[in-house]
Amino acid sequence: MKRKNLSEEQKEYQALLQSVTDYVIAVNRNYQIIMANDLFINKLGARSEGFCYKAWKNRDDKCDDCLVEKSFRDGRVHQNEEAIVLKDGRIAQMLIKSTPVKDDQGKIVYVLEAATDITEKKRLQQELKSVKGNLEKIIDARLNHLQKSEEKYRTIFERSRDALILTDSNGKIMEINRAGVEILGYRNKEDLLDLTSVKELFKDPEEFYQFQKQAFGEGVVTEFEVRLVGGKSRSFDALITSNVILDLIGRIIGYVIIIRDITKRKKAQQQIEMRNTRLAILNAISMTISNSLDLNEVLNSTIDKIRELLESDSVRIYLLDGKRNVLNLAAHKGLSSEFISKSHIRHREVGAGFLGQAVLACETRVVDNIEAFEDSYAVLMVMECVDSTAFIRVVSNGQPLWVMVVSSYSGFKFSANYVDFLTAIGNQIGVAVDNANLYENLKRAYQKLKEAQEQVIRTEKLASLGKLAATVAHEINNPLAAVLTYTRLMMKLMSRGRFTQERLEDIARYLTIMESETARCGEIVKNLLAFSRQPKITMETSSIEELIEKTLVLISHDLEMKNIQLVKEIEPDLPKIKCSSRHIQQALLNLLSNASEAMTEGGTLTVTAKRSKSDGFVEAVISDTGCGISEEDLKNIFEPFFTTKEEGRGVGLGLSVVHGIITRHNGSIEIESKPDEGSTFKVRLPTVR
Ligand code: ADP
């Protein structure tokens, strides 16, 4: 390197230049490098000698925008950024500054060109720039998003039909939406923001503490039902949902409170509940009244149900006597006997007083302040301490039928709803009353029919008795004639003096005949009495098996005499029957005697007892292998006095007595018979349940 004579100062200066991290050269007016520091020499190499433009840019002549020239010209510092190719081929971005160096006279001696490698700085700047650019974009996007979200939330906030409230941690309202102002019944938002705390919105402070406790403890409150009080002291039922708002370190900074006015919902719910209760009541009443057809029972049970379910204090029901134009008290409950004993309470002319007018009015009338009316009948009600009374007219088939009077003593006033409901109950009972009336008519018609039937039976019985008298006369006449004949004969014999042995034998024979004829008369009379009296049956629980056994004892001797074989088939553990044992025994005896009589030359008598195929009955069957009955005779077999037996052996009352007894026990009797083969009598009797 070519060195000039340097002053001391210059030497110092050069030493200083060596120590800096910049590339430094000193250039004279001819652009020749007169000095270069080591860094410059090392990094730019041979270019440190010669012209500065060669050194920096490897050019052969001066740069267009030469800094050295500028500094020489105006004596100032100039700078420029240049890309410089270093010795190792790396391109460095340099900030080159030209600083004029002057001598003592102020003359510019040379210009120092110092270049700082700003490649890294530039790169960083570039990077920073791009990061900054990205960051800005991100921030922009975020801001945009936030703005949109905020708009969205604001819209939701404002459009919500529920009240949305944001409070600080002390419960002071910070923000509330339009619906909130409306729901809470305030004129403007500011009034709500002025409240010290949401606590002021709670009707019962205790409810607020509960709400606060839950919000504080659990961080969330869902569907908390409270009564709130808003502007103009309007109170209403509300559902509150709330969430706490936390900051980054989990401290409560406020609450979001959502309030829903549930007044309408509650009202609807109450209405549904009321409707359900009423339906249940109507149902209960219709169940009660459909269980009976007895008018009295229907009315009384209805009154009971109304009082029980509707908490009404007294109920009266009047039936209209359309012919006399009078309402008659048919049923009542809850009124003093003194009140009820009054004749105008028991009966009321149509049109007289509220009650009498109720029949004519189309609508149910409610009287709350009865003392205010100039109604002579009202005095009684005032004395009875009646507070509110509903007069309900009930119509059936378009005709007023009766009036129901429901009273309360407790200050309870009948609402329009309540009255509608009472009217519905009234109509329901109207139907029942109609049915009960129909039933009453039916009952009367049935009673008449029964009386007519009894009359026919009596007449028939008389006819039977006439027939009986003739038969009896005939039946009794023969034995009596025999008795008379033999009596006369004996008297004649006696008038002839002493009796010979032969005569005595005759007399004994006559007496035997007389005895048997008299006994026959006795038998006829006994059967006749059994038929005509038909004494009242007294029922007891008996075993059919026992009754059969007892009856068979009576006839066993007879069976033995006639060489009849007895077969018994009794099912074990037969259910008991409810009967008059004496009568059933009589019926069985008649059947067994007939069977025995049918087997004149011996045979088999089969007696069986078993459960009947039809439920709740036992069956006793008596079969014989006797003469049987012709088809023709079978038709008349139960007719009184029908007999095929020769005179003196049968009177034809046995089977008609059997039939009477069995039917009066609600049983039945059937016959199967074939001439010369035998007969089977099947008796069915109901068992005890
Ligand atoms: P009576 O025995 O006095 O004739 P009943 O009323 O008991 O009166 O019987 C009426 C008639 O029915 C009898 O005369 C007889 O002809 C017929 N009869 C009843 N039971 C039998 C029987 N087991 N076998 C055949 N005929 C019978």
pLDDT at 289 over 70: no
Q: State residue 184 phi and psi, 5-degree precision.
A: -80, -5
Which one is predicted more confidently, 533 or 40?
40
Closest CA to 30 of 108, 82, 132, 120: 108
What pLDDT sits at residue 471?
55
Q: Are residues 551 and 680 in the same domain?
A: yes
Mean pLDDT confidence for 364-386: 73
Mean pLDDT confidence for 341-345: 86
Q: State residue 34 phi and psi, 5-degree precision.
A: -105, -10
Q: State residue 109 phi and psi, 5-degree precision.
A: -95, -45
What pLDDT sits at residue 1?
41
Structural domain including 673 reads 535-686
User: In degrees to the nearest 10, what's the CA dihedral of 349, 350, 355, 360?
Assistant: 180
How far apart are the CA of 100 and the centre of ligand 1, in A? Answer: 171
Q: What percentage of the chain has pLDDT greater than the value 90?
A: 22
pLDDT band at 354 (very low <50, low <70, confident <90, very high): confident
Q: Are residues 201 and 275 in the same domain?
A: no
Give every strand in the sheet of 235-246, ordered side by side. 173-176, 163-168, 252-261, 235-246, 220-229
Number of structural domains found in the chain: 4
| Among candidate residues 117, 143, 169, the one where a domain is terminated | 117
For residues 628 and 632, what is the distance between their CA atoms, to the nearest angstrom? 12
What pLDDT sits at residue 472?
64
What pLDDT sits at residue 194?
92
Q: Are residues 369 and 427 in the same domain?
A: yes
What pLDDT sits at residue 617?
94
Mean pLDDT confidence for 158-183: 89
Mean pLDDT confidence for 385-394: 80
> Which strand (E) or helix (H) includes residue 252?
strand 252-261
- Give me the CATH number covering residue 241: 3.30.450.20
Strands of 510-582 (E only): list them. Answer: 540-542, 564-570, 577-579
Q: Measured from the CB, is residue 528 less than 6 Å from ligand 1?
A: no
Q: Are residues 439 and 297 in the same domain?
A: yes
Mean pLDDT confidence for 188-195: 91
What pLDDT sits at residue 9?
64
Residue 548 is given by DSSP the state H
Mutate to test the pocket of ligand 1, among 589, 643, 674, 683 (most ligand atoms within 8 A of CB): 643
pLDDT, one tens digit per residue, over 595-628 is 999 999 999 999 999 998 878 999 999 999 999 9
| Among candidate residues 444, 474, 497, the one where a domain is terminated | 444
Assigned token pair, 63: 């740069």
For residues 308 and 631, what is the distance between their CA atoms, to the nearest angstrom? 67
What pLDDT sits at residue 573?
92
Q: Measured from the CB, is residue 587 less than 6 Å from ligand 1?
A: no
Which one is predicted more confidently, 27 or 582?
27
pLDDT, one tens digit per residue, over 50-73 is 888 888 888 888 888 899 999 999
Q: Measured from the CB, is residue 408 less than 6 Å from ligand 1?
A: no
How far apart are the CA of 643 and the centre of ligand 1, in A? Answer: 6
How far apart are the CA of 562 and the centre of ligand 1, in A? Answer: 17
CA atoms within 13 A on the CB side of 200: 16
Mean pLDDT confidence for 265-285: 78
Mutate to test the pocket of ligand 1, among 594, 622, 670 (most ligand atoms within 8 A of CB): 594
pLDDT at 533 over 80: no
Closest CA to 405 of 371, 374, 359, 437: 359
Name the pTM for this structure. 0.37
CA distances from residue 430 to 346, 395, 436, 508 in whole angstroms, order as listed: 20, 7, 10, 85
pLDDT at 590 over 90: no
Going by CA atoms, what residue is nearest to atom 14 of ligand 1? 643
Q: Give a yes or no: residue 367 inside a domain.
A: yes
* Neighbouring-strand partners of residue 32: 51
Q: Are residues 284 and 425 in the same domain?
A: yes
Q: Are residues 241 and 286 in the same domain?
A: no
Q: Give a yes or no: residue 418 inside a domain.
A: yes
How far apart are the CA of 633 and the centre of ligand 1, in A? Answer: 9
Instruction: Of 215-229, 281-295, 503-517, give the lowest mean pLDDT range.
Output: 281-295
What pLDDT sits at residue 545?
95
Compute the chain's Rg from CA coordinates.
66
For residues 464 and 522, what is the distance between their CA atoms, to the nearest angstrom? 20
What pLDDT sits at residue 624?
97
pLDDT at 475 over 80: no
Q: Give a yes or no: residue 486 inside a domain.
A: no
Q: Measured from the CB, is residue 595 less than 6 Å from ligand 1?
A: yes
Q: Give a yes or no: residue 585 inside a domain.
A: yes
Which one is predicted more confidently, 330 or 455?
330
pLDDT band at 4 (very low <50, low <70, confident <90, very high): very low
CA distances from residue 45 to 84, 88, 95 in whole angstroms, order as listed: 13, 10, 19
What pLDDT sits at residue 602?
93
Instruction: Of 69-83, 106-120, 549-563, give the lowest mean pLDDT range.
Output: 549-563
pLDDT at 676 over 90: yes
Q: Are residues 327 and 251 in the same domain?
A: no
For residues 116 and 23, what is the distance between their CA atoms, to the nearest angstrom? 6
- Give me the CATH number covering residue 645: 3.30.565.10
Q: Are residues 283 and 227 in the same domain?
A: no
Residue 115 is given by DSSP the state E
pLDDT at 171 over 80: yes
Closest CA to 584 of 620, 531, 612: 620
Q: Are residues 238 and 291 in the same domain?
A: no
* Neighbouring-strand partners of residue 108: 102
Q: Give a yes or no: residue 96 inside a domain.
A: yes
pLDDT at 470 over 80: no
Q: Give a yes or no: residue 103 inside a domain.
A: yes
- Amino acid (1-letter code) at residue 458: R
Answer positive or negative: Cα dihedral of 486, 492, 493, 494: positive
Going by CA atoms, what residue is nearest to atom 16 of ligand 1? 644
Mean pLDDT confidence for 542-563: 86
What pLDDT sits at residue 43?
83
Q: Measured from the CB, is residue 598 less than 6 Å from ligand 1?
A: yes
131 contacts 119 by C-beta, under 8 angstroms:
no
| Among candidate residues 234, 261, 288, the one where a domain is terminated | 261
- Give me the CATH number covering residue 417: 3.30.450.40
> Longest C-alpha distance within the chain, in Å?
227
CA distances from residue 440 to 303, 429, 430, 444, 445 in whole angstroms, order as listed: 20, 16, 15, 6, 9
pLDDT at 508 over 90: no
Q: Give a yes or no: residue 185 inside a domain.
A: yes
Which one is predicted more confidently, 440 or 206?
206
What pLDDT sits at residue 642?
84
pLDDT band at 232 (very low <50, low <70, confident <90, very high): confident
Assigned token pair, 496: 């002839």
* Neighbouring-strand partners of residue 51: 32
Contacts of residue 256, defined as CB under 8 A and 6 or more positions apart, other chains included, come to 164, 165, 166, 242, 243, 245
pLDDT, one tens digit per residue, over 520-530 is 777 767 766 66
Q: Give a yes or no: residue 145 inside a domain.
A: no
Q: Are residues 236 and 292 in the same domain?
A: no
pLDDT at 286 over 80: no
Q: Give the position, in ligand 1's atom list, of the atom nearest the Cα of 527.
A: 3
* Neighbouring-strand partners of residue 324: none
Give every strand in the sheet of 678-686, ordered side by side. 564-570, 603-611, 617-624, 678-686, 668-674
Q: Are residues 284 and 412 in the same domain?
A: yes
pLDDT at 266 over 80: yes
Q: Are residues 358 and 293 in the same domain?
A: yes
pLDDT, one tens digit per residue, over 632-672 is 999 889 887 788 887 656 777 788 888 888 988 999 999 99
